[in-house]
Structure 1
Amino acid sequence: MKIGILLTGHAPETLLQEAGDYDLLFRQLLTGHDFEFETYPVVDGIFPDSPLTCDGWLITGSKHGVYEDLPWIAPLETLIRDIRDAARPLVGICFGHQIIAQALGGRVEKFAGGWVVGSQAYVGANGPGRLNAWHQDQVVELPAGAQVLASSDSCQFAAVAYGPTIYTVQAHPEFNADVLANLIRMRGRGVVPDPLLDQAEALLDSPTTARDEAARLARVLKGVPA
């Protein structure tokens, strides 16, 4: 089964050297689920020819905001709607979670409560979970027909399903402790308030349910509703 990874941002240089770009993190996360992958760096203007090019699709995280006036945002939104209309499975992570909501009629903005970073507890239809997060933007208004599957104290719409073929999550199941520590060093200090980063560092070794979330992503990509 071929999964197209729609790469919407590049990792910082030190993370590229240590762990590879964001698409590689997802290839590693979904190892063992019998997928082959092809990456399309849409952030660089490189798109697939058709929503039918791959059997399923995954949209990565990004440093960009979905509301930014960037030349690849509108084409990506069109592709998202085309994937939905073609009934191909689609999952979105962080930026991917947000751009899918926006493309389908929702609204995204900077969260009034500020940054959410590090290990976060989520409660929802599939039980409690704990994942690493790194975001300031959030979905604040859902499209019609969206179903909320998980929430947290700092993120009301943490996991969302759109019918049987689309599933999105605000957190980062692909971020392990090493990746998160790298982001704290390279992108956090001077941007995210120090107390939040200190708390995130203190929880770096906390267990997560990332493997469970990876299994959920794999099921959706194989056609099982979230």
Structure 2
Amino acid sequence: MSQPSGNRYAVLLCAEDSEYVKKKYGGYFGVFVKYLSEEGDSWDVYHVATGELPTEEEIKMYDGFVITGSCNDAHGDDPWICRLMEFLQRLDSLKKKVLGICFGHQVLCRALGGKVGRAKLGWDIGVTNINLSPSSTKLFSSLQIPTVLSVIECHRDEVLEAPPEAEILAWSGQTGIEICKYREHMMGIQGHPEYTKDILLSIIERLLQRNFIVESYADEVRANVEKLEPDREEWKKLCTNFLKGKLW
């Protein structure tokens, strides 16, 4: 029997849980734990948007941090976003492992000196093919993953310029910076590896109700989601190996 790894992680939750996700998955924290947790790991959550962040003493307890998506704009100056960026700069100085997802990817890149804003081509919702760069296929060679991976996307902002010293590892037809690596300890992913298709479909309904998208676009996205499958297991390998320090 394998020995428990004993790794401890914190989810920096930047989103409000929808009723659907709360009922089915125990909130987005439950989604991430179910997706990324391996035997022996332990996970905690900090509700960043309501002011919770780990203290200096608590930072020491964790092997890595995961920043979630959010309905907020990563290019906004809400007080909690500004505090989060300062916190991420602190994690950088401590060389802590940080994985940013969607909003988390954007706010991480912004904290490290990149530029974030509205996506040039507008909303990107559905299952999208991501192209890995030649350098990333070398970095990920131990995982034996394909050079094209499909992932669920749901965003209307993007990283416009990567931080200095960052390396762009993947792009798609709509988004220029899909995966970004900063030194050895930080990585951002624009897509949502953790999402299931039913989560995305519930979000589409919420976006429709709030008039963020129109019915014709929602129909187009639903058809896309019905036809295509995200490579969830491949993304899981990538994310868990990064958090465990096994990628590079």
Structure 1 position 33, deviation (Å):
5.4
User: Which structure features the higher share of helix residues?
Assistant: 2
Q: 2-side partners of 1:208 and 1:94: how far apart? A: 16
In structure 2, runs of 5+ residues without a counterpart are: 1-6, 138-146
* Equivalences, count: 226
Q: Determine if the alignment matches structure 1 residue 158 to structure 2 residue 189.
A: no
Q: Which residue of the partner structure matches residue 191 of structure 2?
A: 171
Uncovered stretches (5+) of structure 1, i.e. residues with no partner: none
Give the deviation of 1:12 after TM superposition. Answer: 2.1
Q: Identity over aligned residues, as a percent? A: 26
Please state if 1:17 is matched with 2:13: no
In the TM superposition, 1:28-177 aligns within 5 A as 28-32=34-38, 34-50=40-56, 51-124=59-132, 125-126=136-137, 127-177=147-197
CA distance 1:19–1:187, change in 2 (3 Å): farther
Deviation at 1:102, TM superposition (A): 0.4
CA separation in 1, counterparts of 2:38 and 2:30? Answer: 14
Which residue of the partner structure matches residue 13 of structure 2?
Answer: 7
Whole-angstrom distance in 2 between the partners of 1:210 and 1:48: 29
Q: For the residues of structure 1 that align with 2:148 and 2:122, how far apart are their CA atoms?
A: 23
- Compute the TM-score of the two structures, normalised by the length of structure 2: 0.86
CA RMSD of aligned residues (A): 1.5
Is residue 2:236 matched to residue 1:217? no
Q: What TM-score results when the alignment is normalised by the length of structure 1?
A: 0.94
Aligned mates of 1:194, 1:119 — CA distance in 2 = 18
Return the alpha-carbon distance in structure 2 between the equivalents of residues 65 and 207 of structure 1. 28
Alignment counterpart, residue 219 of structure 2, candidates 181, 193, 198:
198
Structure 2 residue identity aligned to 1:56: G
Amino acid at match of 1:222: K
Q: Tell me how far 1:24 sits from its aligned partner.
A: 1.2
